[in-house]
Chain A
Amino acid sequence: MNTQINLAGIKMKNPVTVASGTFGYGREFSEFFDLSKLGGIITKGTSLKPKSGNKPSRVCETASGMLNSIGLQNPGVEYFAENDLPFLKKFDTAIIVNACGSTVEEYVELCRILNTLDIDGVELNLSCPNVKEGCMAFGNTYEGVKHVTSEVRKVLDKPLIVKLTPNVTDIASIAKGVEDGGADAVSLINTLLGMKIDIDKRKPVLANNTGGLSGPAIKPVAVRMVYQVAQAVNIPILGMGGIINGDDAIEFMLVGATAISIGAGNFIDPYTSINTVKGIEDYMKKHNIDDINEIIGKVKMN
């Protein structure tokens, strides 16, 4: 039985990765299981300089999901390279750095540095809904996405994945911008912009008022968008949005994802990601599938 996949030149032993911002830089989860069991790790969103993040409260629970407005708190790329990367390199898993910035210049400068590091690829975060400038501002037009992707492409030799926001009218056209900008893969979806009100205080629960919705609540939206993007582009897709088990992962692969990420699912059970690996294998056994690549995009539409 083969579970190996190749995501835009990044070889992984299985299609299961962990989503940016839900796994830190791996240390905390390494206390529960061997990180080498994962296909890949996508790091916490990392910027050129350290970022302190938003005011609390930053998270709250919603029906079958949660809202967050962390604001990309991270120690910066220099700290990552010195302290977190050497730790992650101890494991036999693909290391993909989620890169975020506020300007095109910042993305380019950051990726210039990332290009010199011993990592397997970069996931360009054009989609965080929780920071005022940058990120999503680049992520919601074809031109914006294509421009920043092509500028980064000039300095980055490593596999380049671009992560999209779902908070757009036509996700397929935005994904086309990723492809036309020269990226190797596209990942989606980031969180859906949401809001929750404390009715006693008559105020939003999150200090930032709005936040990104994640968890099983968003899975149907994510599956639909991955399907639409798969029809529009020829580059591989890293699919995510509410996946918490093998069956969920298979859904994403059937509509066109080559690999998947576990996001908020990491919060409810530290073993969600490796249980998903097992769940995929169980599905393969049940359906006599020898190679996981056989199912990618094989949904039969009505």
Chain B
Amino acid sequence: MPKQVHAKLIKKEEIIKDIYKFSVKAPEIVETAKPGNFIEIRVTEGIDPFLRRPISIYNLDKENGILEFIFQVKGKGTEILSKKEEGTDIDIIGPLGHGTFKFEKYKNIAVIGGGIGIFPLYELSKEAKQNDVKVNCYLGFRNKNFVMLEKEFEEVTDNLTITTDDGTYKEKGFAIDYLIKDMENEKYECIYACGPLPMLKAIQKYANENNIDCQISLEEKMACGLGVCLGCAVKTAKSPKDAPEYWHVCKGGPVFQTKDVEI
């Protein structure tokens, strides 16, 4: 059940240019949060920017009630958020989303992320590995300047492949190509993905064609985050052409089975 809390910002770090990691004390949220959940942050008490900012959860420190999230400064809202000082309170609602990453029935999984989409995959990898699931991870970035969290992901995965589109760091090319190549030797029971839409589309196509379970975390413009405004619609895969059916990222998701949605 989501709660609204005023969580103290304990630690803030700019991990690469314009990308911030915030650690906040939010035991009420951490207690029930699952990998894949997100939070909604009100960055100002005023009315501009008006809406909350949906941000995925990066790490849950259950023991200390600490929640970590990472975000990129993209506009006015995230700019204001990035300027918050340690020790101040942040208005957060969470955990949000009913569709979360589920790994309980698998023993060998692949986790793939691109750019700023990699953040929710950390808690998933961590919890899966703690539960004796083998986790092979593929993270793709534009170039060496955008590579982040390599050490952190190394600690929570069995194998980590880092790619850059231009080959300026580690493997050259797209992360998905390395995942597909590894499938010659590996039997991944499920693929988990979060990242830019073209990447998700390619993974969905591959997974559906090869009949592999696949869970993707989606993004859509959102207002309430609670499932009432019905803004963040995503089309269901079984929709008849003349009568589309929609689910909502904030409620049915943000994590969906690729077989269930049309992206």
B48: chain A residues at CB < 8 Å are 63-64
Q: What separation, in Å, do the CA atoms of A58 and B247 have in the docked complex? A: 13
Q: Is the CB of B50 within 8 A of A264?
A: yes
Q: Which of A107-115, A267-275, A292-300 contacts B (4 or more CB under 8 A)?
A: A267-275
Docked pose: A205 CA to B231 CA in angstroms? 13
The proximity string for B residues 35-74 relative to A, scoring 1 for CB distances below 8 Å and 0 otherwise, is 0000000100001111110000000000000000000000
Are B2 and A24 neighbours in the complex by a CB distance under 8 Å? no
Decide yes or no whether A66 CB sits under 8 A from chain B: yes
Contact (A59, B50) CB under 8 Å given A53-B246, A269-B42: no
Name the residue of chain B whose CB is nearest to the CB of A219.
B47
- Can you pick out 16 interface pairs between chain A and chain B where the beta carbons lie within 8 Å of each other? A21-B229, A28-B224, A31-B1, A52-B244, A56-B232, A57-B221, A58-B221, A61-B49, A63-B48, A64-B48, A68-B223, A68-B229, A73-B230, A244-B47, A267-B223, A269-B91
Chain A residues with CB under 8 Å of B115's CB are: none
Interface of B is mostly: loop
Q: In the complex the two chains form, what is the Cα distance from A59 to B91 in whole Å?
A: 22
Q: Give 5 nearest A-B pairs by CB, closest first.
A: A59-B231, A24-B228, A267-B224, A56-B233, A28-B226
* B108 interfacial contact with A, CB 8 Å: no
Does A167 sit at the interface, judged by CB under 8 A?
no
Which residue from A55, A215, A270 sits with its C-beta under 8 Å from B50? A215
Considering only CB atoms and an 8 Å cut-off, how many residues of chain B contact the other chain? Answer: 31
Q: Which residues of A contact B220 (CB under 8 A)?
A: 56-57
Q: Decide yes or no: A32 and B47 within 8 Å by CB, A56-B233, A269-B42 being known contacts.
A: no
Answer yes or no: A29 CB below 8 A from chain B CBs.
yes
| 0/1 string, B136-177, CB within 8 A of A gives 1 | 000000000000000000000000000000000000000000
By a beta-carbon cutoff of 8 Å, the part of chain A in contact with chain B is 21-24, 28-29, 31-32, 44, 52-66, 68, 70, 73, 205, 215-216, 244, 264, 266-271
Q: Is the CB of B51 within 8 A of A61?
A: yes
- Complex CA gap A60/B229 in Å reads 12
In the complex, the answer to whether B243 meets A266 with C-beta atoms within 8 Å is: no
Q: In the assembled complex, which residues on chain A have CB atoms less than 8 Å from the CB atom of B232?
A: 56, 58-59
Beyond A22-B228, A52-B246, A267-B224, list 4 extra A-B contacts (CB 8 Å). A28-B228, A70-B231, A216-B50, A270-B93
Contact B222 A59, beta carbon cutoff 8 Å = yes
Are A60 and B42 also in contact (CB < 8 A) when A53-B233, A55-B244, A73-B233 are? no
